[in-house]
């Protein structure tokens, strides 16, 4: 099946992209890496859209340390995330996540902003951003605004982005000296979406646990976080089981996914303590 698009325009700048979206009468779609959007169009899940190509806007790509935060441009490609020294130092969770994402061809074209804005509940980067306590930076017709990551992901493929807005970058706190960041997942085979995935960040203020492939959006496991902060792993596993409502599908049952979530939390804590998982 071939894609059906209502037109194509390459934006020369962020301002130009916003103008194109504003003139599209609600039918504009932002094209960055295209690894999810083009597949959806090929399956006719998205038709008649004006594609606004932002891939050549250099200001939206790159990684920089700004004081106590790490800023990552929305057009930074997955492969760049995996090799960037600033990311490896201050957000190694993202570095490690890259090896779990699809295959080399996808990682060379896909952008982290595209992955976050697409909001696939089975994808690694949204859960990583949630575990890291990211702030999402967007630009729209009324100007820039910042959105806490806890408020950004709303439902399956749905975010807090308003009509005509573009995700331009996101920021995370730079890693503390003794901070530990861990990602664990189980997939049927390399490159597949995870049956269940878990991100664990340990900071002086406590633990942050985010899960993916267990619901309509990445889940911040507040109950499990509180139990782990108190030093009770068994209680954390029980809390985790209670606060997720995973789906059943042809890949795994809800009960199996709930079991896997507990297994992954125990593995992550074992790694946190330097034990063999």
| DSSP for residue 77 | B
Question: 3-class DSSP state for residue 24?
Answer: coil
pTM (2 d.p.): 0.93
- Determine the pLDDT at residue 104: 87
Does residue 46 surpass a pLDDT of 70? Answer: no
- Determine the pLDDT at residue 3: 52
> What is the DSSP secondary-structure string of 178-247?
T-EEEEEEEESSTTSPEEEEEEEEEETTEEEEEEESSSSS-EE-HHHHHHHHTT-HHHHHHHHHHH----
- Determine the pLDDT at residue 102: 86
Q: Measured in whole angstroms, how far is the alpha carbon of residue 124 from the centre of its chain?
A: 5
Query: Is the CB of residue 208 less than 8 Å from the CB of residue 201?
Result: yes
Cα separation, 57 vs 14, in Å, equals 7
Does residue 2 surpass a pLDDT of 60? Answer: no
Cα separation, 38 vs 44, in Å, equals 10
Q: CB atoms < 10 A from the CB of 253, how many? A: 12
pLDDT tens, 206-228? 999 999 999 999 999 999 999 99
pLDDT band at 1 (very low <50, low <70, confident <90, very high): very low
- Determine the pLDDT at residue 25: 85
Enumerate residues 6+ apart whose C-beta is below 8 A from 180: 200, 201, 202, 272
């Amino acid at each position: 099946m071939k894609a059906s698009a209502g037109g194509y325009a390459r934006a020369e700048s962020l301002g130009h992209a916003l103008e194109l979206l504003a003139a599209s009468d609600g039918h504009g779609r932002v094209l960055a890496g295209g690894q999810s959007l083009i597949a959806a169009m090929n399956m006719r899940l998205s038709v008649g859209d004006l594609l606004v190509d932002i891939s050549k806007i250099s200001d939206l790509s790159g990684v920089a340390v700004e004081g106590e935060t790490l800023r990552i441009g929305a057009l930074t490609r997955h492969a760049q995330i995996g090799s960037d020294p600033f990311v490896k130092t201050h957000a190694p969770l993202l570095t490690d996540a890259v090896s779990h994402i699809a295959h080399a061809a996808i990682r060379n074209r896909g952008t982290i902003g595209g992955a976050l804005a697409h909001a696939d509940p089975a994808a690694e980067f949204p859960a990583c951003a949630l575990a890291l306590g990211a702030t999402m930076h967007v630009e729209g017709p009324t100007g820039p605004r910042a959105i806490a990551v806890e408020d950004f992901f709303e439902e399956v493929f749905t975010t807090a982005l308003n009509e005509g807005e573009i995700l331009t970058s996101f920021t995370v706190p730079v890693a503390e000296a003794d901070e530990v960041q861990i990602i664990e997942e189980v997939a049927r085979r390399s490159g597949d979406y995870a049956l269940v995935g878990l991100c664990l960040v340990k900071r002086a203020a406590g633990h942050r646990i985010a899960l993916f492939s267990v619901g309509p959006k990445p889940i911040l496991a507040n109950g499990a976080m509180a139990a782990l902060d108190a030093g009770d792993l068994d209680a954390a596993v029980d809390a985790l089981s209670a606060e997720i409502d995973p789906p059943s599908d042809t890949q795994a049952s809800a009960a199996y996914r709930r079991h896997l979530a507990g297994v992954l939390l125990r593995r992550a804590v074992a790694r946190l303590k330097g034990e063999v998982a």
